[in-house]
Amino acid sequence: MITRLSMFPRIALCALLLMLAPISHAADAAVDAITQSVARPDVLRGQFTQDKQVSGFKNPLRSQGQFVVARQHGVIWTTQRPFPSEVVVTADRILSRQRDGTNRVELDARQQPAMRSVNAIMFALMSGDVQALSSQFNINAQREGQGWRLQLTPKSAMLAKAFQSLSLQGDRYVRQVEIIEANQDRTLIQFSALTEAPAALSADEARRFD
């Protein structure tokens, strides 16, 4: 469960907290420049490697796979190694699919309406949407050659109970997300082989959002 779903409960918590405050527009020139440089495709596909360093474990827990981010639908997060599984995030729910084909709803917006903003947070982290993050995080933005780095620290005491910091690195796309939790557990997610083509979902991808 740590390797398959550990990223998503924390994002869900972000979503809950972001609903408590309006989105603010960062005035920092570096933040504005980064915002303008990041792509906003309707569909983005790629591969990921996720390493989670858990307190008490010597070696990080690694998972690898591929993902699809569809702006009008949500996120398909398919883990291929070490254990095949899939997590689908939409505006209404987080659904996990296991290797044997069984489905399980992890979070349902009908029971937890605040989960409707999970989709927005996934886009914010994976597409570098600074405006969607700045309402709850202090942002330190730096340009690094042709790329950029965003260091996020929680504004509220409630959020600080879950996170120490989040760090995003990228260029036209987000290439890396690092999450340091309050208990010092670390999750490092690296994205590769990113592509905007084809620009529409395939029939199979669309079906997986159902």
Q: What is the DSSP string of 69-120?
A: EETTTEEEEEEEESS-EEEEEESSEEEEE-TTS-EEEEEETTT-GGGGGHHH
> Based on the structure, what is the number of domains in the chain?
1
Question: Percent of the chain scored above 90 by pLDDT?
Answer: 15
Measuring CA to CA, how many Å separate 80 from each of 41, 148, 207?
25, 29, 19
Instruction: Report whether the peptide linkage leading into residue 22 is cis, meaning its omega lies within 30 degrees of zero.
Output: no
Residues 6+ apart with CB under 8 A from 102: none
User: What values do phi and psi take at 59, rounded to 5?
Assistant: -105, 145
Asked if residue 87 has pLDDT above 50, the reply is: yes
N-to-C CA span, the chain: 23
pLDDT, greater one: 91 or 142: 142
**pLDDT tens digit string along 119-136?**
556 656 666 677 777 777
The pLDDT confidence band at residue 192, using thresholds 50, 70 and 90, is very high
Q: Are 67 and 78 in contact (CB under 8 A)?
A: yes
Q: Return the CATH number at 122.
A: 2.50.20.10
Domain span at residue 175 reads 2-208
Average pLDDT, the chain: 77
Q: Look at residue 199 and tell me whether its pLDDT is greater than 90.
A: yes
Classify residue 141 as left (phi > 0), alpha (psi -120 to 50) or beta. beta
Query: Which pTM was predicted?
Result: 0.79
Is a pLDDT exceeding 60 seen at residue 115?
no
> Where does the pLDDT of residue 81 fall: very low under 50, low under 70, confident under 90, or very high at 90 and above?
very high
Q: What is the structure's pLDDT at 112?
A: 59
CA distance 35 to 27: 11
Predicted confidence band of residue 2 (pLDDT cuts 50, 70, 90): very low
Task: Answer for the pair 72, 84: CB distance below 8 angstroms, yes or no.
Answer: no
Matching residue, tokens 């290797």? 99
Q: Provide the β-strand partners of residue 151.
A: 140, 167
